[in-house]
Amino acid sequence: MGQALSDSQIKKVLPIILATAIFMLMLDSTILNTSLPAIAEDLNESPLNMQNAIISYVLTVALLMPISGFVADRFGTKRVFIFSLALFALGSLFCSLSQSLNQLVISRVIQGVGGSMMTPVGRLTLIKAFPKNEVVRAMNYAIIPALIGPILGPLVGGYMVDYLSWHWIFLINLPIAVAGIILSIKYLPDYYSSPSDFDLKGFLIFAAATFVLSVSLELLGNSVQTTPLLVGLFFGFLLFYFYYRHAKKRETPLFPLDLFQVRTFRVGIIGNLATRLGISSVPLLLPLMIQIAYGKSAVISGWIVAPMALTAMLGKSVVMKILQKLGYRTTLMFNTFLIGLLICAFAIPSLQSSIYWHLPIIAILGFFNSIQFTSMNSIAIANLRPYHTSSGNSLLSVNQQLAIGFGVAFGLIVLKLFEGDAGLIDHEIHNAFRFTFLVIGGLTIFSAFVFRKLHYKDGESLQERTT
C-alpha cells in the first residue's frame, strides 16, 4: 500500500519537476533579449557586440544535446538531472557576477552544459515512469511553462532591468533550480540502461565542425580580415565531409546518413535551418531597436514584444485544423511567405511614427511563427521508421539550436554592416534596423521555396492520427 502511494506521489510530482527545468530554460531564452542593452552599458560594450552571450549558450546546448541520453543511461537519470539543474544554477550565478563580456560568455557556456541535459533527461525520466497511455497527458502538463515562459520573459526582464538591475535576470533562476533539486532528491526515480554503442568519434567530428563554423560566423560579425574567415569556413565544411565519410563506414553512427533519404525529413531539416535564419534574429532585434533607436525603456520593449508569445498560443490551438484543410506543402509555403512579409513590415514605421505601430505586426507574427514551427517539426519526423525516430528527433533538436545561433549571428552581422555605412542610413541607426528587417524578411520569403520539394500528400498520416 505504501509503495502504491509512493508511486502515486511520484506521478504527481514528476511533471512538476520537469516543468521547473522547462520554465527556467524558456524564461532564460527570452528574458535576456530585453536586457542586453543594459548589460552592454554596464560591461562597457556595444549592444551590437553582445551576440556571443546568446550564441555561446545555444551552441553549447546544440553540441552536447546528442550525448544526454548516453550520459543518463550510464550514470542514471536522477544523478544527471540533479547535476544539470545544479550546473545551470551555478552558471546563472556566474552570469550575475560577470564583470566583462568574456566572463559572461564563459558563464553562459556553463549554463548551456546544464541546459543541454535538463529537458532531454527530464523527458526521458517521465517517459519511463508513466505508462504509454499516460505519457502524453503528463507531458502536456509539464510543458505548460514552455508557453508561459516566453510571455513572462520580456516583461520580467524589462521590469528587473528598469527597477532592480540586470543581474536579477540570472539570479531568478536560483530559487527555481533549488526547488527542482529538492523535489528531485525526494521524488525523482532513477533509471539506468545498458549504455548503447555511442559514436564518440562521430560526435567529436560533428561537434568540431559545428564549432569551427560558428567561430567563423563570429569572425565575420567582428569584421576581421577575410583570410581567417575563409580558412574557418573551409575547415568547418571539411570536418563535415569527414563526418560523412565516418558515418558511411560505421554501422551505428551518431546521425545515420539514410535519415536524409527520407524526403520529408530532409525538407524539414533544411526548411528549419533556412527559415530560422531570418526568424530567429527577430526576438533580439526588436528589443534592441525599441531601446536603441526609439530610446524606450526595457519595460516598454518587454510589453511590446510579449504579445508575440500570446498569439503563438492561439496559433498552436488551430494549426492542426489549418494543416488538415490545406496540407503541409501549401501551409508551409504560404506561411513562410507571410512571415517574411511581416518581418519586412517592421521597416515601414518611421522614427517619427508611434512605436505602437509595431504591435499588430508583432502579434500577427507570433501567430504564424507558431504554425511554422509546429508544421516544420512534425513533417520532419512524419515518415521516419521507428528505429530512426530517436536519432532523427535528436538531429532535429540540434539543428534548431544551431539555426537559432546562426540566425542571431546573421541578423546582427547585417545590422552592423548597415550601421557602418553612415551614408546609406543617413547617420540614423533606426534606418540600419529597417534595412536589416528588409534583408532578413527577404531571406525568409526566399526560404519558402524549400517547401516546394514536399508532395501535396505529405503529412496525411499525421493528420489522420489527430482526427
The domain that holds 99 is classified in CATH as 1.20.1250.20
Q: Are residues 212 and 338 in the same domain?
A: no
Q: Are residues 205 and 69 in the same domain?
A: no
Looking at residue 90, its pLDDT comes to 94
Q: Are residues 344 and 424 in contact, defined by beta-carbon separation less than 8 angstroms? A: no
Give the chain's domain count.
3
Q: 148, 165, 195: which is the final residue of a domain? A: 195
168/170 Cα distance (integer angstroms): 5
Number of other CB atoms surrounding residue 185 within 10 Å:
10
Identify which of 171, 145, 236 has the alpha carbon closest to the alpha carbon of residue 35: 171
- pLDDT tens for the 467 residues of the chain, in order: 334 435 666 667 777 777 788 788 877 777 887 888 888 888 888 887 777 888 888 888 888 888 877 788 788 888 888 999 999 999 999 999 988 888 998 999 999 899 888 877 877 777 777 766 666 666 666 666 666 767 777 888 888 888 888 888 888 889 989 988 888 888 777 777 766 677 888 889 988 888 887 777 666 655 545 676 778 778 888 988 898 899 888 877 888 888 888 888 888 888 888 898 888 888 888 888 988 888 888 888 888 888 888 888 788 778 888 888 888 888 899 999 999 999 999 988 888 888 888 889 999 998 998 888 888 877 887 777 766 666 777 788 788 888 888 888 888 888 888 887 777 777 788 888 989 999 999 999 999 998 888 877 766 655 544 44
Looking at residue 139, its pLDDT comes to 63
Q: Are residues 430 and 324 in the same domain?
A: yes
Q: Are residues 383 and 423 in the same domain?
A: yes
450/88 Cα distance (integer angstroms): 37
What is the DSSP code string of 396-444?
A: HHHHHHHHHHHHHHHHHHHHHHHHT-HHHHTT-HHHHHHHHHHHHHHHH
Q: Are residues 34 and 159 in the same domain?
A: yes
Q: Are residues 126 and 235 in the same domain?
A: no
Q: Are residues 227 and 319 in the same domain?
A: no
Q: Are residues 394 and 299 in the same domain?
A: yes
333/427 Cα distance (integer angstroms): 37
Dihedral of CA 332/337/343/349: which sign?
negative
Looking at residue 339, its pLDDT comes to 93
Domain hosting residue 132, numbered range: 1-195
Question: Hey, what's the cell of 289?
Answer: 531597436
Q: Are residues 310 and 366 in contact, defined by beta-carbon separation less than 8 angstroms? A: yes
SS3 268: helix
Cβ density class 136-151: b for 16+ within 10 Å, e for less: eebeebbbebeebbbb
Q: Are residues 151 and 213 in the same domain?
A: no
Q: Are residues 157 and 176 in the same domain?
A: yes
Q: Are residues 79 and 129 in the same domain?
A: yes
Looking at residue 140, its pLDDT comes to 62
Question: Hey, what's the cell of 233?
Answer: 569556413
Query: What is the DSSP code (8-state) at residue 257?
Result: G
Q: Are residues 226 and 265 in the same domain?
A: no
Distance of alpha carbon 114 from its chain centroid, rounded?
A: 15
302/226 Cα distance (integer angstroms): 37
With cell 501551409, the residue in question is 331
